[in-house]
Structures are given as C-alpha cells and as structure tokens.
Amino acid sequence: MDIEEGDILTYERTFTEEDIRQFADVSGDMGAHHVERDDEGRLMAQGLLTATLPTKIGGELNYVARTLDFEFVKPVYAGDTVTCDVEITRLEPGEKRTRLASKYVCRNGDGDAVLRGESDGMIPGKAAD
C-alpha cells in the first residue's frame, strides 16, 4: 500500500453482540456491562474491541506498533457502526524500515468521537524506491 504523510485511511465496522461475546471469551474481559444488557437493553463493547479499528488499518500496512495511546471517549454498543480515520502524521523511509506515526479518531453513527489516540512504530523492510 502506498501511503504518504498526511494521508487519512478509513475503516468502518458495525459491532454485533456476537463480536462482544467472542471478544469477552478471547480477552477474558467479562465485565458485567459486556455480558449483561443495560437498562436500555444494550450490550456495551469492550474498549479494546473498539480499538481494533485503528489496529486493523495498521495490520493492512504491516505496521508494528511501538506505542499505542487510547482515550476512550464514549461507549460503543452492539449495533453501533463506528468509522475510524487514521491520519499518517510522520513517515520516514529508512534502509531497513519505515518509521511511521499516526493519530486516529473513531466516531459513532452520530459523528461523536468514541475513541481517540496516537501510535508510533515502523513498517519492516526496505522502503520502495
């Protein structure tokens, strides 16, 4: 994937109850708010499940994170569609790897931020000419 500093990469996902339950099984995060419905009948997604959106984009780039910073702003519930925008804030090609930094924001269907953060890391391998 060809990317440049300033590029914004986007991924959208609708979280399901099955996603939340499977993530609870895999992660062990069985907080009551993730396995029992609230007073409005909703099941809340784990914060780190929501954080899989920017990491999915990183995976497409073969990105190896050194740091990940997450600010969980609002809850996400089963049925919510969340859009994640990852902005490439630094791109430094090198002989053995390309250093990359990014910032990201995930928004719910109402356009409200539910997650913000930054990451720093690298893409292994020689930069393309």
- Model confidence pLDDT, tens digit, residues 39-84: 999 999 999 999 999 999 999 999 999 999 999 999 999 999 999 9
With a cut of 90, say whether residue 129 has pLDDT above it: no
Q: What is the pLDDT of residue 10?
A: 98
Q: What is the pLDDT of residue 93?
A: 93
Residue 28 lies in a domain: no
Residue 99 lies in domain: 8-14+45-124
Q: What is the pLDDT of residue 125?
A: 87
51: CB partners within 8 A, 6+ apart: 68, 70, 115, 117
Q: What is the pLDDT of residue 2?
A: 87
Give the position of tokens 């396995």: 35
Residue 19 lies in a domain: no
With a cut of 70, say whether residue 1 has pLDDT above it: no
Residue 52 lies in a domain: yes
Residue 30 lies in a domain: no
Residue 29 lies in a domain: no
What rounded mean pLDDT belongs to the chain? Answer: 95
Q: Is this structure's pTM higher than 0.75?
A: yes
Q: What is the pLDDT of residue 118?
A: 98
Dump pLDDT digits (tens) for 15-27.
Answer: 999 999 999 999 9
Residue 24 lies in a domain: no
What CATH number is attached to the domain comprising 105?
3.10.129.10
Please provide the DSSP assignment of 4-31 as one string.
Answer: -TT-EEEEEEE--HHHHHHHHHHH----
